[in-house]
Amino acid sequence: MKKTPEAIEVAQAAVTELREALARAGIRLPSLGLDVVTLAADPPRPLVELGCCTVETARLLAAAVLPGEENRS
């Protein structure tokens, strides 16, 4: 990961890309963002916070990650 503020910019771009990809798959994670604790490190080591989601959203994520296996349970 790059140094400050580039590391934060790169991480925010990754969050934006993930949010857009999830939206194309019909999935919304309201808590998606950067973990503020990891931004406070010196140097920052940003982690992406996915947050909580409903059971329905978890199933949509599983189907998006493993297409064609949605009936595996």
Question: How far is 73 from 65, CA to CA, in rounded Å?
Answer: 15
pLDDT for 45-69, tens place per residue?
999 999 999 999 999 999 999 887 7
Segment 37-42 long-range contacts (CB within 8 Å, at least 24 positions apart):
39/8
Average pLDDT, the chain: 88
The 3-state secondary structure of the chain reads: CCCCCHHHHHHHHHHHHHHHHHHHCCCCCCCCEECHHHHCCCCCCCCEECCCCCHHHHHHHHHHHCCCCCCCC
